[in-house]
Structure 1
Protein backbone atom coordinates (compact mmCIF):
# COMPACT_ATOMS: atom_id res chain seq x y z
CA UNK A 1 0.00 0.00 0.00
CA UNK A 2 2.90 2.37 0.62
CA UNK A 3 4.17 1.87 -2.91
CA UNK A 4 0.83 2.92 -4.38
CA UNK A 5 0.87 6.00 -2.17
CA UNK A 6 4.11 7.08 -3.80
CA UNK A 7 3.03 6.22 -7.35
CA UNK A 8 0.28 8.81 -7.80
CA UNK A 9 2.34 11.91 -6.91
CA UNK A 10 5.28 10.47 -8.85
CA UNK A 11 3.17 10.11 -11.99
CA UNK A 12 2.22 13.77 -11.80
CA UNK A 13 5.78 14.89 -11.10
CA UNK A 14 7.04 12.92 -14.09
CA UNK A 15 4.33 14.51 -16.25
CA UNK A 16 5.51 17.95 -15.09
CA UNK A 17 9.04 17.00 -16.13
CA UNK A 18 7.87 15.68 -19.49
CA UNK A 19 5.80 18.81 -20.11
CA UNK A 20 9.02 20.70 -20.82
CA UNK A 21 9.46 18.50 -23.89
CA UNK A 22 5.83 17.82 -24.78
CA UNK A 23 3.87 21.07 -24.92
CA UNK A 24 0.46 19.39 -25.02
CA UNK A 25 0.95 18.10 -21.47
CA UNK A 26 1.21 21.62 -20.03
CA UNK A 27 -2.48 22.30 -20.45
CA UNK A 28 -3.81 19.16 -18.81
CA UNK A 29 -1.61 18.68 -15.74
CA UNK A 30 -3.57 21.15 -13.62
CA UNK A 31 -6.96 19.60 -14.32
CA UNK A 32 -5.52 16.09 -14.18
CA UNK A 33 -4.25 16.74 -10.66
CA UNK A 34 -7.72 17.78 -9.50
CA UNK A 35 -9.41 14.89 -11.32
CA UNK A 36 -6.99 12.30 -9.90
CA UNK A 37 -7.57 13.72 -6.42
CA UNK A 38 -11.31 13.26 -6.89
CA UNK A 39 -10.84 9.72 -8.17
CA UNK A 40 -8.68 8.88 -5.16
CA UNK A 41 -11.37 10.30 -2.87
CA UNK A 42 -13.97 8.06 -4.54
CA UNK A 43 -11.63 5.07 -4.14
CA UNK A 44 -11.25 6.02 -0.50
CA UNK A 45 -15.04 5.92 -0.11
CA UNK A 46 -15.06 2.45 -1.67
CA UNK A 47 -12.71 1.11 1.01
CA UNK A 48 -15.64 1.07 3.45
CA UNK A 49 -18.06 -1.28 1.62
CA UNK A 50 -15.25 -3.47 0.26
CA UNK A 51 -13.58 -3.76 3.70
CA UNK A 52 -10.15 -2.64 2.46
CA UNK A 53 -9.12 -0.59 5.49
CA UNK A 54 -5.42 -1.04 4.73
CA UNK A 55 -5.80 1.27 1.72
CA UNK A 56 -7.65 4.05 3.51
CA UNK A 57 -4.74 6.09 4.88
CA UNK A 58 -2.83 5.91 1.60
CA UNK A 59 -5.85 7.08 -0.37
CA UNK A 60 -6.71 9.81 2.16
CA UNK A 61 -3.16 11.17 2.09
CA UNK A 62 -2.91 11.14 -1.70
CA UNK A 63 -6.38 12.63 -2.18
CA UNK A 64 -5.50 15.47 0.20
CA UNK A 65 -2.24 16.09 -1.60
CA UNK A 66 -3.76 16.05 -5.08
CA UNK A 67 -6.97 17.93 -4.28
CA UNK A 68 -5.18 20.77 -2.49
CA UNK A 69 -2.55 20.91 -5.26
CA UNK A 70 -5.23 20.76 -7.94
CA UNK A 71 -7.15 23.63 -6.38
CA UNK A 72 -4.01 25.75 -6.34
CA UNK A 73 -2.79 24.79 -9.81
CA UNK A 74 -6.11 25.30 -11.59
CA UNK A 75 -6.86 28.55 -9.81
CA UNK A 76 -10.15 27.09 -8.57
CA UNK A 77 -9.32 28.23 -5.04
CA UNK A 78 -10.69 31.67 -5.93
CA UNK A 79 -14.08 30.28 -6.99
CA UNK A 80 -16.92 28.57 -5.18
CA UNK A 81 -15.28 25.22 -6.00
CA UNK A 82 -13.01 25.72 -2.99
CA UNK A 83 -15.68 25.16 -0.30
CA UNK A 84 -17.33 22.41 -2.35
CA UNK A 85 -14.13 20.38 -2.66
CA UNK A 86 -12.96 21.00 0.90
CA UNK A 87 -16.34 20.22 2.50
CA UNK A 88 -16.59 17.05 0.39
CA UNK A 89 -13.12 16.04 1.54
CA UNK A 90 -13.96 16.79 5.17
CA UNK A 91 -17.26 14.91 5.10
CA UNK A 92 -15.77 11.88 3.39
CA UNK A 93 -12.78 11.58 5.71
CA UNK A 94 -14.85 12.17 8.84
CA UNK A 95 -17.50 9.59 7.89
CA UNK A 96 -14.87 7.02 6.93
CA UNK A 97 -13.20 7.64 10.30
CA UNK A 98 -16.50 6.88 12.04
CA UNK A 99 -17.29 3.82 9.92
CA UNK A 100 -13.81 2.29 10.24
CA UNK A 101 -13.37 3.38 13.88
CA UNK A 102 -10.20 5.37 13.19
CA UNK A 103 -9.62 8.29 15.50
CA UNK A 104 -7.01 9.93 13.26
CA UNK A 105 -9.47 10.13 10.36
CA UNK A 106 -12.14 11.69 12.59
CA UNK A 107 -9.63 14.30 13.76
CA UNK A 108 -8.47 14.90 10.18
CA UNK A 109 -12.09 15.33 9.04
CA UNK A 110 -12.68 17.96 11.72
CA UNK A 111 -9.42 19.68 10.82
CA UNK A 112 -10.46 19.67 7.14
CA UNK A 113 -13.79 21.26 8.08
CA UNK A 114 -12.04 24.04 10.01
CA UNK A 115 -9.69 24.64 7.06
CA UNK A 116 -12.65 24.69 4.66
CA UNK A 117 -14.50 27.30 6.70
CA UNK A 118 -11.46 29.51 7.29
CA UNK A 119 -10.15 29.25 3.72
CA UNK A 120 -13.58 29.99 2.27
CA UNK A 121 -14.03 33.06 4.44
CA UNK A 122 -10.50 34.35 3.91
CA UNK A 123 -10.13 33.70 0.19
CA UNK A 124 -13.67 34.25 -1.03
CA UNK A 125 -14.48 36.94 1.55
CA UNK A 126 -17.50 38.98 0.53
CA UNK A 127 -18.67 36.35 -1.96
CA UNK A 128 -19.18 33.89 0.94
CA UNK A 129 -21.13 36.47 2.94
CA UNK A 130 -23.76 37.05 0.26
CA UNK A 131 -27.13 35.91 1.69
CA UNK A 132 -27.76 33.12 -0.81
CA UNK A 133 -24.24 31.70 -0.64
CA UNK A 134 -24.20 31.97 3.14
CA UNK A 135 -27.54 30.17 3.43
CA UNK A 136 -26.37 27.34 1.17
CA UNK A 137 -23.07 27.10 3.07
CA UNK A 138 -24.82 26.90 6.43
CA UNK A 139 -27.23 24.25 5.13
CA UNK A 140 -24.32 22.15 3.85
CA UNK A 141 -22.51 22.60 7.17
CA UNK A 142 -25.64 21.59 9.10
CA UNK A 143 -26.10 18.50 6.93
CA UNK A 144 -22.47 17.44 7.42
CA UNK A 145 -22.54 17.94 11.17
CA UNK A 146 -25.94 16.24 11.43
CA UNK A 147 -24.72 13.24 9.46
CA UNK A 148 -21.56 12.98 11.53
CA UNK A 149 -23.51 13.29 14.79
CA UNK A 150 -26.04 10.66 13.70
CA UNK A 151 -23.33 8.20 12.64
CA UNK A 152 -21.37 8.86 15.83
CA UNK A 153 -24.42 8.19 17.98
CA UNK A 154 -25.35 5.05 16.08
CA UNK A 155 -21.78 3.71 16.49
CA UNK A 156 -21.34 5.12 19.99
CA UNK A 157 -20.45 1.81 21.67
CA UNK A 158 -17.68 1.03 19.20
CA UNK A 159 -16.34 4.60 19.20
CA UNK A 160 -16.11 4.63 23.01
CA UNK A 161 -13.94 1.49 22.83
CA UNK A 162 -11.68 3.24 20.31
Structure 2
Protein backbone atom coordinates (compact mmCIF):
# COMPACT_ATOMS: atom_id res chain seq x y z
CA UNK A 1 0.00 0.00 0.00
CA UNK A 2 2.71 2.56 0.76
CA UNK A 3 4.19 1.92 -2.69
CA UNK A 4 0.87 2.86 -4.28
CA UNK A 5 0.94 6.19 -2.46
CA UNK A 6 4.57 6.83 -3.36
CA UNK A 7 3.82 6.18 -7.01
CA UNK A 8 0.85 8.57 -6.79
CA UNK A 9 3.13 11.23 -5.30
CA UNK A 10 5.49 10.75 -8.25
CA UNK A 11 2.62 10.94 -10.74
CA UNK A 12 1.20 14.05 -9.07
CA UNK A 13 4.01 16.09 -10.62
CA UNK A 14 2.47 15.38 -14.02
CA UNK A 15 -1.20 15.05 -13.07
CA UNK A 16 -2.35 17.99 -10.96
CA UNK A 17 -5.65 16.42 -9.91
CA UNK A 18 -3.79 13.80 -7.84
CA UNK A 19 -2.26 16.41 -5.53
CA UNK A 20 -5.54 17.12 -3.80
CA UNK A 21 -6.50 13.56 -2.93
CA UNK A 22 -3.23 12.02 -1.75
CA UNK A 23 -3.58 13.35 1.81
CA UNK A 24 -7.07 12.01 2.38
CA UNK A 25 -6.29 8.81 0.51
CA UNK A 26 -3.39 8.15 2.88
CA UNK A 27 -5.67 8.40 5.90
CA UNK A 28 -8.43 6.32 4.28
CA UNK A 29 -6.02 3.57 3.21
CA UNK A 30 -4.60 3.47 6.74
CA UNK A 31 -8.12 2.94 8.09
CA UNK A 32 -8.81 0.22 5.54
CA UNK A 33 -5.60 -1.55 6.49
CA UNK A 34 -6.58 -1.35 10.16
CA UNK A 35 -9.93 -2.98 9.33
CA UNK A 36 -8.14 -5.68 7.34
CA UNK A 37 -5.88 -6.21 10.35
CA UNK A 38 -8.95 -6.75 12.51
CA UNK A 39 -10.21 -9.33 10.01
CA UNK A 40 -7.05 -11.43 10.41
CA UNK A 41 -8.37 -12.65 13.77
CA UNK A 42 -11.65 -14.31 12.68
CA UNK A 43 -10.20 -15.56 9.38
CA UNK A 44 -7.11 -17.02 11.12
CA UNK A 45 -4.62 -15.25 8.85
CA UNK A 46 -1.99 -14.45 11.48
CA UNK A 47 0.80 -14.31 8.91
CA UNK A 48 -0.62 -11.03 7.55
CA UNK A 49 -1.06 -9.30 10.89
CA UNK A 50 2.39 -7.72 11.30
CA UNK A 51 2.44 -6.42 7.73
CA UNK A 52 -1.00 -4.87 8.11
CA UNK A 53 -0.15 -3.39 11.53
CA UNK A 54 3.05 -1.83 10.21
CA UNK A 55 1.42 -0.41 7.09
CA UNK A 56 -1.59 0.92 9.00
CA UNK A 57 0.73 2.66 11.45
CA UNK A 58 2.70 4.25 8.62
CA UNK A 59 -0.36 5.39 6.71
CA UNK A 60 -2.42 6.57 9.68
CA UNK A 61 0.40 8.60 11.23
CA UNK A 62 1.43 10.12 7.91
CA UNK A 63 -2.21 10.67 6.96
CA UNK A 64 -2.81 12.59 10.19
CA UNK A 65 0.21 14.76 9.47
CA UNK A 66 -0.54 15.33 5.78
CA UNK A 67 -4.21 16.24 6.23
CA UNK A 68 -3.55 18.48 9.20
CA UNK A 69 -5.99 16.44 11.29
CA UNK A 70 -3.40 16.15 14.05
CA UNK A 71 -4.53 19.52 15.40
CA UNK A 72 -8.16 18.40 15.77
CA UNK A 73 -9.93 15.89 17.95
CA UNK A 74 -9.39 13.27 15.24
CA UNK A 75 -5.88 12.72 16.63
CA UNK A 76 -6.92 10.97 19.86
CA UNK A 77 -9.74 9.11 18.10
CA UNK A 78 -7.45 7.61 15.47
CA UNK A 79 -4.56 6.90 17.83
CA UNK A 80 -6.67 5.29 20.56
CA UNK A 81 -8.55 3.16 18.03
CA UNK A 82 -5.18 2.08 16.62
CA UNK A 83 -3.93 1.26 20.11
CA UNK A 84 -7.04 -0.67 21.07
CA UNK A 85 -7.04 -2.68 17.86
CA UNK A 86 -3.37 -3.63 18.02
CA UNK A 87 -3.51 -4.48 21.72
CA UNK A 88 -6.61 -6.67 21.37
CA UNK A 89 -5.19 -8.46 18.33
CA UNK A 90 -2.02 -9.08 20.33
CA UNK A 91 -4.09 -10.71 23.07
CA UNK A 92 -6.22 -12.76 20.69
CA UNK A 93 -3.29 -14.01 18.61
CA UNK A 94 -0.97 -14.41 21.62
CA UNK A 95 1.68 -12.08 20.23
CA UNK A 96 3.72 -10.23 22.81
CA UNK A 97 5.09 -7.67 20.35
CA UNK A 98 1.58 -6.54 19.40
CA UNK A 99 0.62 -6.15 23.06
CA UNK A 100 3.71 -4.03 23.66
CA UNK A 101 3.04 -2.01 20.50
CA UNK A 102 -0.55 -1.42 21.61
CA UNK A 103 0.69 -0.11 24.96
CA UNK A 104 3.18 2.21 23.26
CA UNK A 105 0.43 3.42 20.93
CA UNK A 106 -1.71 4.26 23.95
CA UNK A 107 1.13 6.19 25.60
CA UNK A 108 1.79 8.06 22.34
CA UNK A 109 -1.94 8.82 21.99
CA UNK A 110 -2.14 10.28 25.48
CA UNK A 111 1.06 12.32 25.22
CA UNK A 112 0.36 13.56 21.68
CA UNK A 113 -3.18 14.56 22.61
CA UNK A 114 -2.02 16.49 25.66
CA UNK A 115 0.90 18.15 23.88
CA UNK A 116 -0.77 19.07 20.60
CA UNK A 117 -4.32 19.77 21.72
CA UNK A 118 -3.28 21.16 25.12
CA UNK A 119 -6.03 23.23 26.68
CA UNK A 120 -8.72 21.71 24.46
CA UNK A 121 -8.03 18.27 25.97
CA UNK A 122 -8.25 19.65 29.50
CA UNK A 123 -11.76 21.05 29.09
CA UNK A 124 -14.09 19.18 31.46
CA UNK A 125 -16.31 17.52 28.85
CA UNK A 126 -13.44 16.50 26.57
CA UNK A 127 -11.45 15.22 29.53
CA UNK A 128 -14.43 13.20 30.78
CA UNK A 129 -14.98 11.62 27.38
CA UNK A 130 -11.26 10.88 27.03
CA UNK A 131 -11.11 9.22 30.44
CA UNK A 132 -14.21 7.14 29.69
CA UNK A 133 -12.67 5.94 26.41
CA UNK A 134 -9.41 5.16 28.22
CA UNK A 135 -11.26 3.24 30.93
CA UNK A 136 -13.20 1.24 28.33
CA UNK A 137 -10.01 0.34 26.46
CA UNK A 138 -8.14 -0.70 29.60
CA UNK A 139 -11.17 -2.61 30.88
CA UNK A 140 -11.52 -4.48 27.60
CA UNK A 141 -7.82 -5.31 27.54
CA UNK A 142 -7.88 -6.47 31.17
CA UNK A 143 -10.96 -8.63 30.59
CA UNK A 144 -9.48 -10.28 27.48
CA UNK A 145 -6.15 -10.78 29.24
CA UNK A 146 -7.82 -12.46 32.19
CA UNK A 147 -9.96 -14.67 29.99
CA UNK A 148 -6.87 -15.79 28.02
CA UNK A 149 -4.59 -15.83 31.05
CA UNK A 150 -3.42 -19.43 30.70
CA UNK A 151 -2.31 -18.98 27.10
CA UNK A 152 -0.70 -15.59 27.76
CA UNK A 153 1.34 -17.01 30.65
CA UNK A 154 2.76 -19.63 28.27
CA UNK A 155 3.72 -16.86 25.84
Normalising by structure 2, we get a TM-score of: 1.00
- Deviation above 2 Å: which 4+ runs of structure 1? none
Segments of 5+ residues of structure 1 without an aligned counterpart are 1-7
Q: Tell me the distance in 2 between the aligned counterparts of 1:40 and 1:86.
A: 14
How far residue 123 of structure 1 moved from its aligned partner, in angstroms, is 0.2
2:145 match: secondary structure: helix
How far residue 93 of structure 1 moved from its aligned partner, in angstroms, is 0.0
Q: Tell me the distance in 2 between the aligned counterparts of 1:65 and 1:99.
A: 23
How far residue 19 of structure 1 moved from its aligned partner, in angstroms, is 0.4
Segments of 5+ residues of structure 2 without an aligned counterpart are none
1:129 match: secondary structure: coil
Q: Deviations for 1:37-82, whole angstroms, at most 9, x for unmatched residues? A: 0000000000000000000000000000000000000000000000
1:12 aligns with 2:36: no
2:43 match: secondary structure: coil
Cα RMSD over matched residues?
A: 0.2
Q: Tell me the distance in 2 between the aligned counterparts of 1:22 and 1:126.
A: 41
Q: Tell me the distance in 2 between the aligned counterparts of 1:20 and 1:127.
A: 38
Q: Tell me the distance in 1 between the aligned counterparts of 2:129 and 2:50.
A: 31
**Aligned length, in residue pairs:** 155
1:70 match: secondary structure: helix
Normalising by structure 1, we get a TM-score of: 0.95
How far residue 10 of structure 1 moved from its aligned partner, in angstroms, is 0.7
